[in-house]
């Protein structure tokens, strides 16, 4: 389950950078370098940026619940 979660997190990350690239180069660079913070900021203001964030959050949750990532 952690492998599926990591794959979904990775797909959400790549989708986020690609969606940011369709908007502007600075948006793509921010999504590439500061993924969670930039993605959250853009998702609040721009509806098409919300699905990549939801997919990445779901993937991170699966990876965490599957034991693939441990925080703390």
Contact 48, 20 (CB under 8 A): no
Over residues 4-13, mean pLDDT: 91
Higher pLDDT pick, 27 / 72: 27
3-class state of residue 50 by DSSP: helix
Which tokens belong to 24? 């502007």
Residue 60 in this model has a pLDDT that exceeds 70: yes
pLDDT digits (tens, 9 = 90+) for 12-50: 999 988 988 888 888 888 888 988 888 888 888 888 888
Give the pLDDT of residue 11.
94
Give the pLDDT of residue 69.
64
């Amino acid at each position: 389950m952690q492998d599926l979660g990591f794959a979904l997190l990775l797909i959400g990350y790549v989708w986020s950078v690609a969606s940011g690239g369709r908007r502007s180069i600075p948006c793509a660079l921010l999504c590439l370098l500061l993924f969670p913070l930039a993605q959250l900021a853009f998702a609040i203001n721009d509806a098409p940026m919300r699905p990549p964030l939801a997919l990445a959050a779901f993937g991170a949750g699966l990876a965490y619940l599957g034991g693939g990532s441990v925080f703390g």
